[in-house]
Chains A and B, each alone.
Chain A
Amino acid sequence: MPVTKTDAGPRSPARRSAIKTLAAAAAGTASLPLWARYAGAQSAAPIRIGFQMHATGIGAAYGRWYDRTTRAALRLINEAGGINGRPVELVTEDDGTDPKRGAEVVEKFASLHRCDVGYGTLFSHVVMGSAPRAGELKLPYFVVSEGHHVASGALNRWTLQPGITDVKSQVLAMAPFVRENLGRKVTMIFPDYAFGHDHRDFFSQAIEAQGGEVVAKLAIPPTETSFTKYFAKIPRETEVIYHVMVGPSVLTFVKEMGEFFGPSRPEIFGFIDSLESVDLQSPGLDFLEGTYFWEGMPRYVQPDQTEFDRHYRAAIGIDENGALAADPSDVSAYAHMFGCWETLYVIKAGMEACGYRGPDDRAALVEAVEAMTEMPLSNDHPQGAKLFNGRTHQVFGPQYISKVENGRLVVQAETPIEAGFYPDEVDYTTQSL
């Protein structure tokens, strides 16, 4: 599929010139010692970003990599002169991947730590539990969740997702590839909770629109530890299995699927969410050889690697296999964590566009981000060019489809941004700030 790389700048001339000026200034000041870079700012007080981290609980594997990515991006931002001439400081609070604690952490950011923004939440239920408080406290809340909750209109004007695409967009973009390359009759295997239901509903519609058909929908209860009995329910006519299993049982899931099908299996397509931070060379995963995955960003270095991916990997310290260079057994959450990096650069661009000075300018920051549209492929957006929808507060971008070949994920296709478009479901700009 063709790659869409939008190189047009933002629509607003004023903002474009402002960003150009700031970019030139940043380049000039980058060579100065740290104290001198911030000396010209109206206030040398740091900008405080409240990082709602899944340090414990079910999201901890992701949280660790979201943290590393965040720190790498902020190090570069600070080395380049910070934001509006001010250093950026990270205030990290563990939310335990729990919505109640998440809401408390948001309160802490707004009322105790005096953070300028809240940022970094991944798990959808934590976003849902926290966003109402962010809205009440008028704290710009930048989530990196890929949930459809933002664009669905369930949240509020203070919650934005400008760094990662949502699940609805991802699934819509996958359906044409599945239909054209893998098969028409699909059996879906998904966890029986909201994340799985989103896949079930969005993909069913998308594949039917492509002339395909979902012949079975197998919901796996969240407490399940053995899966063989579900494989027996897969209809014989199935041409493609679509799976989105997540959590610690995924290794058992793959192993039992391999034992069930043996060498004669249908085509298999899955979401890499299942295997984020998991080494594909792990025992039992050899059955995945020749199967396909959605990736938010290719974990393994590809032959056409961009200079931006190279820059991004080097900054975080990730090797060509998507693992920590210092410890190759520590595999990253590469398909998602770019969202942290890109969100931080969106916050930076938004603060620079509105001349952000402090918490009194929080509303102006939200409006500045809402005014954003095109985000060119660059060091700030290494995953790909994107288009931000200020009405729905959701970004759209390319998706990657990879095949497991010799234990590595090799990109087969990159979908264009438009493949993930769907009609707006909300216009947050009509809400008051």
Chain B
Amino acid sequence: MRGGRLIGLHLGLVAVLFALNFVLPAYSHGTVARVMVLATYAMGYNILFGYTGLLSLGHAMFFAAGMYGLAMPMTHLGLGAGPALLTGIGSAAVLSLGVGLLALRTRGVAFMIVTLMFSQAAWLTILLAGRWTRGDEGVVIPQADRMLLGLDLSDPSTRYLAALALFSAVLFGTLWLVRQPIGRVLVAIRENEDRAELLGYDTFRHKLGAVVLSGTVSGAAGAAYGLFFGYAGASFAETHYSIFPLLWVLLGGAGTVIGPFLGTLFMFYLIDLTSGLTPAYMLVAGVALVLLTLFAPQGLAGEIRRRWWRGLP
């Protein structure tokens, strides 16, 4: 029964998003498509931070690995969008495995610093490989090349539904994961890693799996972003794109499946609306974030779980 309610909640969200495809005005339609891709990035981040308790400051490198893993073969090898999507996801998977193997030799603050440094190195690599990446300027993925399975991803409705498909797959994948024994182990590591180890779990392997899964999902979001919006640029590998998913997850509710979407949506509209009211919109956004942290420290979905629905995953 409880499982039915949970699945109903998440199915309901997907159904609402699907219905919105037909009723949203043009600007919001494009915005929600973008938010779904970015929320996918946040959900990837949440697997590592929200469920496993590992705070990474370098996830932009995984997002960018997916984006460039897609864009480079398309630009230089003429690869089609479908295979390029796979190379993008594969690039992020390989990078996250390598980074995980090295970074997980550290803990706590050291893990944050190591991931930050790896991410800086990835950003500089993109700049230094300017002959292929066009450095900070980036590359445009031509509209004619953005065809996937015969579908034109520059078409607003197709892009929206493709974004919804990606978002839904990761949403239900995360929901499934956290309800499996492996998901429980990740939460156990977050709560007390030593105790989890004492109980016989190989915490290193579980954490490595979480890094790879989190990095791969983030990379899938990066690849999708490049494909859907036609651009891959080095700015997506900069530090603030590692901070964004942290903010989205904290706002929406770390360790909740639905929270990353709420946080991404809230943050997007907070910036978008306040920027139309005042040039000091970042100040307004900052104050709003401080207030939320003070009065809803567990984020939006976290508050729902604390106040009304303790079983919310």
Answer whether A and B are interacting partners. yes
Interface residues of A (CB under 8 A from B): 55-56, 93-94, 98-100, 103-104, 107-108, 110-112, 124-125, 128-129, 131-133, 135-136, 147, 149, 154-156, 192-195, 197, 221-223
Q: Is B4 an interface residue (CB 8 A)?
A: no
Closest B residue to A132 using CB positions = B230
Cβ proximity bits B27-58 to A, threshold 8 Å, 1 near / 0 not:
10011001000000000000000000000000
Q: Is B138 an interface residue (CB 8 A)?
A: yes
Q: A99-B138, A128-B138 are in contact. Are A56 and B231 (CB under 8 A)?
A: no
Stretch at the interface among B8-16, B82-90, B127-135: B127-135
Of the residues B27, B127, B128, B143, contact of A111 by C-beta under 8 Å:
B27
Of the residues A104, A194, A223, contact of B130 by C-beta under 8 Å:
A194
Q: Is B233 an interface residue (CB 8 A)?
A: yes
Are B231 and A129 within 8 A (Cβ)?
yes
Distance in angstroms between the alpha carbons of A99 and B281 in the assembled complex? 18
Are A112 and B137 within 8 A (Cβ)?
no
Distance in angstroms between the alpha carbons of A221 and B121 in the assembled complex? 12
Are A107 and B231 within 8 A (Cβ)?
no
The minimal Cβ–Cβ distance linking A15 to chain B, given in whole angstroms, is 30
**Contacting residues, chain A, for B234 (C-beta < 8 A):** 125, 193
Q: A99-B235, A107-B31, A132-B231 are in contact. Are A94 and B137 (CB under 8 A)?
A: no
The minimal Cβ–Cβ distance linking B12 to chain A, given in whole angstroms, is 27
Distance in angstroms between the alpha carbons of A131 and B282 in the assembled complex? 25
**Contacting residues, chain B, for A129 (C-beta < 8 A):** 138, 231, 233, 235
Q: A107-B31, A193-B127 are in contact. Are A125 and B140 (CB under 8 A)?
A: no
Q: Is B229 an interface residue (CB 8 A)?
A: yes
- Chain A binding surface, main DSSP class: helix
**Contacting residues, chain A, for B124 (C-beta < 8 A):** 221-223
Q: A197-B130, A222-B127 are in contact. Are A136 and B143 (CB under 8 A)?
A: yes
- Chain B binding surface, main DSSP class: helix
Are A100 and B140 within 8 A (Cβ)?
no
Are A107 and B140 within 8 A (Cβ)?
no
Distance in angstroms between the alpha carbons of A112 and B26 in the assembled complex? 8
Of the residues A111, A125, A132, A222, contact of B30 by C-beta under 8 Å:
A111
Distance in angstroms between the alpha carbons of A93 and B140 in the assembled complex? 23
**Contacting residues, chain A, for B25 (C-beta < 8 A):** 111
The minimal Cβ–Cβ distance linking B162 to chain A, given in whole angstroms, is 14
**Contacting residues, chain B, for A132 (C-beta < 8 A):** 140-141, 143, 154, 229-231
Interface residues of B (CB under 8 A from A): 25-27, 30-31, 34, 124, 127-128, 130-131, 134-141, 143, 154, 229-231, 233-236, 272, 275-276, 279, 281-282
Of the residues B136, B230, B282, contact of A56 by C-beta under 8 Å:
B282
Are B140 and A131 within 8 A (Cβ)?
yes
Q: Can you identify 18 A-B contacts, CB atoms within 8 angstroms? A: A93-B276, A99-B235, A110-B26, A111-B25, A125-B137, A125-B233, A129-B233, A132-B231, A133-B229, A193-B137, A193-B234, A194-B134, A194-B135, A197-B130, A197-B131, A197-B135, A221-B127, A222-B127
Q: A108-B27, A111-B27, A192-B128 are in contact. Are A133 and B230 (CB under 8 A)?
A: yes
**Contacting residues, chain A, for B275 (C-beta < 8 A):** 93-94
Distance in angstroms between the alpha carbons of A94 and B280 in the assembled complex? 11
Are A104 and B135 within 8 A (Cβ)?
no
**Contacting residues, chain B, for A133 (C-beta < 8 A):** 229-230
Are B143 and A156 within 8 A (Cβ)?
yes
**Contacting residues, chain B, for A111 (C-beta < 8 A):** 25-27, 30
Are A99 and B134 within 8 A (Cβ)?
no
**Contacting residues, chain B, for A193 (C-beta < 8 A):** 127, 130, 135-137, 234
